[in-house]
Amino acid sequence: MSEAAQHRQLSALDLRRILGVTRALAAPFDLTTMLAEVVNAAAQVLDAERGSVWLHDAATHELVLKVATGLDSVRLPAGKGIVGTCARTLQIINVPDCYADPRFDPALDQASGYRTRCMLTLPLVDHKGGLVGVLQVLNRKGRSFDGDDEALAMALAAQCAVALQRVRMTEAMLEGERMRNELEMARAVQLSTLPAIMPIVPGYDVHGLFQPADLTGGDTFDLAASADSLLVVLADATGHGIAPALSVTQMQAMLRMSLRMGASLETAFTEVNNQLAETLADDRFITAFIGQLDLATHRLRFHSAGQAPILHFQATTGTCARYKPTSFPLGAMPIVSLRPAVTLEMQPGDILVLLSDGVFEYHDPDREQFGENRVEAIVQTHHGKSMNELAALVLDEVNSFARGAPQEDDITMVLVKRAAQETTLSRAFARDFGALNAIFSFTADAFTRLRVDAALLPTIDLVVEELFTNMVKYSPESRAEVYIGLARIENGVEVTLTDHDVEPFDVTQSPEVNIDLPIEERTPGGLGLQLIRRLTDSVEYAYSREDRQSRITIRKTQPGPQSPGNAAKAGGRDAGN
């Protein structure tokens, strides 16, 4: 994106225009209609003569021209020309004078008889960062495209990509005949919007959980971290089936886009509400908690559209404060005047607890509801546990309370805890061998700050060095930074390495090195992973296919290698040979 696009503030009017397009894009379920909508929307919003869409064919790594007047199917290798460059770099390309640009291929103009004067080319990237296609907008009326147009186009492209992704998914399901009924599709749509891996938030432990009911409801949640803030969303659309699932998906896309484009919490909340008020049927609405946590000040500002109760566990008192909604449910009617946002101060050890009705209103065979007090009691007892564990505990309690009564509504939880003391530190490092010294400085510093026994440092340095150098060596095509996190645990330390934009490689499955071979046959290969397994307590591997993200988690506790646990592992090695 150009500088102009980054620095531009999105006005409420722009936002309204784009959200209007989003609404149009929410309807079609077939690709042809959707693409026509995308091109129409682009031309309209950007005041351009026409547009075209190239879809990325991942199988052949080609770009296929899908919508452009008067042309049959055209295929380009991804990487070639302006369209290909855009697909490769995922950057917007603004060409003010096409015939003066050597990258421009006039062949398409010759074939169609149209003269392209200026052109804006931009990637359609889904919300998980994958290339969906390339959008081109041709010939802005009266002038060439400027920085404002670029900003608008980027916002639009984000919306188009989400819509296209949904259509592709639907088509794939239809082709595979996997979609047996509307409810399955509703659930797939719903699940596709949830974060596959919880974001890494320094100084916080965040966890979201979603357990759909048989008759899928309309719950969703979002936890999205940027450099200095965390977006926290929990929403519940009325009803069951495809309509509420689509409404919450649409709401989430609108919201993410508005905030990413720099709209304030208030503007985003109001505009999303007003758009939904126009779209949703009169008897439908969405309750939603939408909060922004400032990671520097630890202040969480939120608006809640009919979503309650909101529990704030306060570590200093050991009790929960309860908050009410700030507004009526989204989509119920246009917002004329919005009450101010509520601000929570997240102190060390505090937890924000957001649960959907599916928890509070779960009833046992005698029709008694689970209620707020039970939730509060669990949080008070188990606030020291990890948020992952706390969510599982709530679920367990609900299940035993239910005594077999069926789950009638979606269960969704979002838990955000500020670390009780400084117990975790993480940093991103360039994917380069040259980063090693900076990494060792980071681990040494983290050990001091987290008060971890320095005797464990050489082992942790070895773990980090071996895994980091493997990541650099084996995924050279990725340009993403590698995240390294350290957390103090009882008697030791947990280290996490997160690698983005990579193929899976399960380090726990790497073969044992035969260390009894004669020296002539020994090589250093595989030794690093072998050492890690021997020197540490546990090694875990997780991969998210959608995010193309690998995460390795390793724990190391005292006492050292003389402990019975490690002796047993060493014995296992001998037995294995």
Partner 1 sequence: MLAIDFAAEGVVAISGRLDAAQAPAAQAFLDRVQGTVTLDCRNLEYISSAGLGVLLKTQKRLLASAGKLRLAGVGRHLQDIFSYSGFDQIFEIEPAQ
Binding to partner 1 in span 250-279, by CB under 8 A: none
Q: Which is nearer to partner 1, 360 or 505 (CB)?
A: 505
* Residue 50: count of CB within 10 angstroms of its CB: 17
Tell me how far, at minimum, the Cβ of 461 lies from partner 1, in Å: 6
Note whether 458 binds partner 1 by CB under 8 A.
yes
Tell me how far, at minimum, the Cβ of 558 lies from partner 1, in Å: 13
Tell me how far, at minimum, the Cβ of 477 lies from partner 1, in Å: 20
Cα 360 to Cα 335: distance, rounded to the nearest angstrom = 28
What is the per-residue binding string for partner 1 in 31-50, x denoting contact by CB under 8 A? Answer: --------------------
Note whether 24 binds partner 1 by CB under 8 A.
no
Cα 136 to Cα 50: distance, rounded to the nearest angstrom = 9
- How, if at all, do strands 351-355 and 131-140 pair? unpaired
Q: Which is nearer to partner 1, 177 or 520 (CB)?
A: 520
Q: What is the DSSP letter of 369?
A: B
Name the 3-class secondary structure at 38: helix
Cα 137 to Cα 43: distance, rounded to the nearest angstrom = 7
Q: Is 73 left (phi over 0), alpha (psi -120 to 50) or beta?
A: beta
Tell me how far, at minimum, the Cβ of 30 lies from partner 1, in Å: 53
Note whether 477 binds partner 1 by CB under 8 A.
no
Tell me how far, at minimum, the Cβ of 469 lies from partner 1, in Å: 5
Note whether 469 binds partner 1 by CB under 8 A.
yes
Q: Which of 515, 558, 559, 565 binds partner 1 (CB under 8 A)?
A: 515
Given a contact cutoff of 8 angstroms between Cβ atoms, the answer to whether 247 and 284 are in contact is: yes
Q: Is the dihedral of CA 169, 174, 176, 178 positive or negative?
A: positive
Q: Which is nearer to partner 1, 340 or 524 (CB)?
A: 524
Angle at which helices 436-450 and 457-474 pack, to 10 degrees?
A: 140
Give the closest residue to 223 by CA, choosing from 399, 91, 391.
391
Q: Where does this chain touch partner 1 (CB under 8 A) — which range of 126-134, 387-395, 436-444, 486-494?
A: 436-444
Give the closest residue to 414 by CA, choosing from 265, 302, 496.
302
Tell me how far, at minimum, the Cβ of 470 lies from partner 1, in Å: 10
Q: Where does this chain touch partner 1 (CB under 8 A) — which range of 132-140, 276-284, 319-327, 457-465?
A: 457-465
Tell me how far, at minimum, the Cβ of 519 lies from partner 1, in Å: 5
Note whether 531 binds partner 1 by CB under 8 A.
yes
Q: Which residues pair with 398 in a beta bridge?
A: none
Cβ contacts of residue 311 below 8 Å, gap of 6+? 320, 321, 322, 323, 351, 352, 353, 354, 355, 372, 375, 376, 379
Note whether 567 binds partner 1 by CB under 8 A.
no
What is the per-residue binding string for partner 1 in 494-513, x denoting contact by CB under 8 A? Answer: -------------------x
Q: Which is nearer to partner 1, 224 or 462 (CB)?
A: 462
* Residue 277: count of CB within 10 angstroms of its CB: 16
Q: Which of 148, 266, 466, 547 binds partner 1 (CB under 8 A)?
A: 466
Note whether 366 binds partner 1 by CB under 8 A.
no
DSSP 285-327: -EEEEEEEEETTTTEEEEEEES---EEEEETTTTEEEEE--SB
Binding to partner 1 in span 108-137, by CB under 8 A: none
Tell me how far, at minimum, the Cβ of 449 lies from partner 1, in Å: 20
Q: Where does this chain touch partner 1 (CB under 8 A) — which range of 57-65, 282-290, 321-329, 521-529?
A: 521-529
Q: Which is nearer to partner 1, 283 or 520 (CB)?
A: 520
Q: Which of 77, 202, 334, 561 binds partner 1 (CB under 8 A)?
A: 561
Strand order of the β-sheet with 299-305 is 218-225, 229-237, 286-294, 299-305, 342-345
- Rounded to 5 degrees, what angle do the CA atoms 158, 162, 167 make? 145
- Count of residues engaged in binding partner 1, rule: CB under 8 A: 31
Q: Where does this chain touch partner 1 (CB under 8 A) — which range of 83-91, 119-127, 230-238, 431-439?
A: 431-439
Note whether 519 binds partner 1 by CB under 8 A.
yes
Name the 3-class secondary structure at 82: helix
Name the 3-class secondary structure at 539: strand
Note whether 528 binds partner 1 by CB under 8 A.
yes
Note whether 530 binds partner 1 by CB under 8 A.
yes
Q: Which of 524, 564, 568, 575 binds partner 1 (CB under 8 A)?
A: 524
Cα→Cα distances 40→11, 25, 86, 262, Å: 22, 11, 21, 25
- Rounded to 5 degrees, what angle do the CA atoms 225, 159, 193 make? 50
Note whether 564 binds partner 1 by CB under 8 A.
no
Q: What is the Rg, in whole angstroms, of the alpha carbon atoms belonging to the chain?
A: 26
Q: Which of 534, 538, 545, 565 binds partner 1 (CB under 8 A)?
A: 534
What is the per-residue binding string for partner 1 in 332-361, x denoting contact by CB under 8 A? Answer: ------------------------------
Q: Which of 440, 483, 505, 541 binds partner 1 (CB under 8 A)?
A: 440
Q: Which residues pair with 488 in a beta bridge?
A: 493
Cα 404 to Cα 273: distance, rounded to the nearest angstrom = 38
**Interface residue list for partner 1 (CB under 8 A):** 433-434, 436-437, 440, 458-459, 461-462, 465-466, 469, 513, 515-517, 519-520, 522-524, 527-528, 530-531, 534-535, 560-561, 570, 573
